[in-house]
Structure 1
């Protein structure tokens, strides 16, 4: 069998095939490199700025810096609210090998409470592992010393210096100043709604009540920032730049610290409110509400036990009685009603009414008693104010009617907010027929009008409303807007509360103001005046009106005896006054709960306070 010889290889064809394949491969490589080069050009040139920014965002972190809160001073430059440095114990969880064991040993060393540990856990859940989380925000010197000695045993735990709000005068100013507390969920929602949340990025507290809340925008300031370079895990490497925060503005208030402290101490264990106000411009010199509480409790987080004690107290220390307490105005409004009766022509300065000690509505078998059981005899408007004759006002109130009374008294500000520069204010109740129908679905009765004539029935007012109404009367119709703010740190007064002036009380006969004011002066100066005993021998002239407000009605034939009824049902003692009698510079309004008569309790307090006020003004004038 003949073997077939292998064909001779065609080297030329193979070379041509290799060359063609090489060209194809080269074209593919060139195309790939061209695509890579184009993509590099696109990234490095066309989109350089975009990716550079994204790279910086991963490398550079902007950290907000909280501004220092503005300070609050009284009218003489004494500090009322300050920022005090404290030592805060803080943990970086990432640097702690065994967090549970560390917390256990810290508890043994520093006596941490369960609430403090629970607050730490809540804060830790909101922060990243490499951020500082506060464990104890106000270390005592002993705690700081104990920890410093053993700090080497606690990696990841350190003591940091912070500024926190502090109220050096505690309870005496709480209801005027308010307080700051930690920002909660409701605060965050409100800030977002107002597009202010970015300005609070580094802030831990916010104004909750009083001046602190009302002027929060001015007190807070503007957030700053610092740019820091971070590694791939977000840890700070170095600081690149700093934009310092703008501190909040300082506030100067109209309050006088010495006067406020004196009034607060004078009230002692009594419950109620005392306000001193300049009738010419509404400047509040003192505003005390008792009982009160220490606002410093809220700054770093009030304990459950402390908060329950405030919330469950039957004396309601959280209530600002000066602006939210609803009291029957009682006889303090008799001068205002007298002006109205004169204006309506129901009486004249010479008109007299016989007072046998009681008043009856025709066809009604009920007697409305005067506080003086045997009566005042023949009474004109001057005597009715000076001796506080109830029967006189029963009569004129019934003749005027509830519609006329309500419409006129609303002009003094009863039944509406006064506009004082704190948010915690109630309108109280100036009753009308419509109000009663809406509230009780009942008609208005004549007997209720009779009680309205002596400031009782459904009529309630706040002490600040009564202070404004008193100022309006002695200003002959000009109604001031009460205010706590005197000026802001730049020296210019800015009052968001005063968006417009309150309309004046307009009457046809200006002499009717004088009738009421002369009678109020005689309440103090006349031997028959209900405040004469309290002000006898005073070094200044004054005027005023006492009031004794019934908390519980007395049945027909029943006799009021304070010793036989529970304290909470005893009469409130009221006094509203002013001094000097001519061109008054100060208004005083006192409401003391369940304390007794206005002439026997409230008026003597007013005398002591006004004595102190004029002595204080004289002392400062001589400095």
Structure 2
């Protein structure tokens, strides 16, 4: 038998090997095909809803539509807060590939100065809800918008969007009344309704803007848009329009507000005017003011530091938060307390030798007129602002009865309806001192409280509210700033209004009013210069508040003191007496006295023009006023 050579082919073996390999290849192909079919089934059938949703999310997205913020008007329809169109730069962090690189590129494109770069980058990292735009810059210039448009392909997740931004036509005069809106911070974001504030970058921070934020803001809307692979909007698919915020009409008369601000003539102080019957706050001025427009889009560090370090404290709302010793302006209320508690009768005479002494105490509590006013009854005590008379009344009343009656007029309490940040002041009592200092109350402290000094503190808003209540014969109407919210009127009676002040005999109101009328029209009145040519009956009271205490034998001499150490000057009044249309309270810091003419001028403007002011009214001081208030 012939042996097979190595070079001979074994066709049978090769055929078998080929068949086996083919079967293995076929099996692998079938297995892979099965895997592909299975995966395709899993993706197309099992996970159909999931991937359809993901696809739609990549192709379509829902964007919030911020509402238009409501406008603010004065009582005559003058626009006080409006919205102006502007362009904002926003970024959605989740749509940015490299945040640091994108921010560096934006800094270069926008040409930001070095001192703004850190703030710019910090805004991009502020707490924000997922896929919600963070505000980087507001009020872009046309040049900045053009440069961003050219480089748009490099800036994924970055958008330039048109929005309405708050603007205040009278930013300084109205600063403390209106307040301002500003960027939403992280703390505010945590407390806000995420749906209603989606897409909103600004919120009311102070004043009316803060108090009526819920009404002014409105309700956010939505729109569904189709986008390309880079997230750019191609078309709008659906829209749920936003509900605009309600417009708010204030009780403020902007002309009276301007006049009051100008009457202060650059001095530190506050003026509040209230309509007694309605509680409408006609003017509420704190001077100096500040430019609230700078706070809307973000005030610069230097500007903010300048405001904070200003010794005149322009950011401080003196009208609602400023707590001052009310001085002799509390004497009409104390007179009424004395009558009601039976410690004096209107015609009772007290002899004033120029001082008052407590029993078994050699210390003298001086009248402002060192040689005294002699025989004084209630009317003359108010007319000449006699301290000795009211030391006597305070001593007879005692601090507990005095404090209780003063609380009835709102001292030591917040009585306003909607004035944001209003202070309660301080009406001291025996109990208060024990809780505060764990000390007993001393009789001399009662005397100080009796002339509005010592621990006694009140705000100009409180003084105006108490004066309006006095003008109403004790009827309380809460002072308020809003007149209409949308179509709804804001009118008394208001919830939580204090009970009316009751006295046993109605004629006591007139007894106090006579003394207050004599202040401005009597021959010895401390505001008699302001009463020259008066065309209506006006009740008033002047006062001074000490900045520092004098020693037992020291005499106050304003000329020898630095300006900021001089007494504050105060004035309250209402007119006409029989049908009060306006009640005012004012303070000018370190003026010493002589502000009664300012009160007269403001009251003239309202009473003689029946509340309808026009451009012909005086709004500046034409000459220096002379102090006639001695206390």
Does the TM-score normalized on the shorter chain lie above 0.5? Answer: yes
Q: Which residue of 2 aligns with 1:84?
A: 84
Cα RMSD for the two superposed structures: 3.8
Q: Give the counterpart of 2:607 among 590, 614, 622.
A: 614
**1:428/1:133 CA distance change after superposition, 3 Å:** closer
CA distance in 1, matches of 2:231, 2:103: 21
CA distance in 1, matches of 2:48, 2:350: 96
**1:420/1:113 CA distance change after superposition, 3 Å:** farther
CA distance in 1, matches of 2:514, 2:181: 46
| Deviation readout 1:546-597 (Å, 9 max, x if unpaired) | 1111121111111101121222221110110011121101011111111012
**1:339/1:302 CA distance change after superposition, 3 Å:** same
Q: Which residue of 2 aligns with 1:69?
A: 69
Provide structure 2 residue ranges, at least 5 long, that are not aligned to the other structure.
4-19, 617-631
**1:161/1:366 CA distance change after superposition, 3 Å:** same
| Deviation readout 1:501-558 (Å, 9 max, x if unpaired) | 2211122222222211222122222122212211210223211111111121111111
Give the match's secondary structure for 1:591. strand
Deviation of the 1:163 alpha carbon: 1.7
Q: Which residue of 1 aligns with 2:202?
A: 205
Deviation of the 1:200 alpha carbon: 1.0
TM-score (norm 2): 0.85
Aligned residue pairs: how many?
590
Q: Which residue of 1 aligns with 2:498?
A: 502
CA distance in 2, matches of 1:309, 1:283: 34
**Aligned residues of 1:488 and 1:494 also touching (Cα < 8 A):** no
**Is residue 169 from structure 1 mapped to residue 167 from structure 2 by the alignment?**
no
**1:558/1:519 CA distance change after superposition, 3 Å:** same
**Aligned residues of 1:95 and 1:130 also touching (Cα < 8 A):** no
| Deviation readout 1:283-335 (Å, 9 max, x if unpaired) | 01110001211101100101111111122222221111111100111111111
CA distance in 1, matches of 2:177, 2:129: 38
**Aligned residues of 1:72 and 1:79 also touching (Cα < 8 A):** yes
Q: Give the counterpart of 1:255 among 248, 252, 266.
A: 252
Give the match's secondary structure for 2:209. helix
Give the match's secondary structure for 1:170. coil
CA distance in 1, matches of 2:491, 2:473: 27
TM-score (norm 1): 0.86
CA distance in 2, matches of 1:59, 1:137: 29
**Is residue 360 from structure 1 mapped to residue 353 from structure 2 by the alignment?**
no
**Is residue 118 from structure 1 mapped to residue 118 from structure 2 by the alignment?**
yes
Q: Which residue of 2 aligns with 1:514?
A: 510
**Aligned residues of 1:80 and 1:168 also touching (Cα < 8 A):** yes
Residue correspondence of structure 1 range 218-617 to structure 2 within 5 A: 218-231=215-228, 234-493=231-490, 498-597=494-593, 601-617=594-610
**Aligned residues of 1:419 and 1:498 also touching (Cα < 8 A):** no
**Aligned residues of 2:180 and 2:293 also touching (Cα < 8 A):** yes
CA distance in 1, matches of 2:103, 2:573: 64
Q: Which residue of 2 aligns with 1:14?
A: none
CA distance in 2, matches of 1:129, 1:491: 37
**Aligned residues of 1:540 and 1:580 also touching (Cα < 8 A):** yes
**Aligned residues of 1:328 and 1:460 also touching (Cα < 8 A):** yes
**1:46/1:150 CA distance change after superposition, 3 Å:** closer
Provide structure 1 residue ranges, at least 5 long, that are not aligned to the other structure.
4-17
CA distance in 1, matches of 2:372, 2:102: 84
CA distance in 1, matches of 2:82, 2:145: 27
**Aligned residues of 1:130 and 1:235 also touching (Cα < 8 A):** no
CA distance in 2, matches of 1:152, 1:459: 65
**1:134/1:500 CA distance change after superposition, 3 Å:** closer
CA distance in 1, matches of 2:149, 2:143: 10
CA distance in 1, matches of 2:611, 2:423: 36
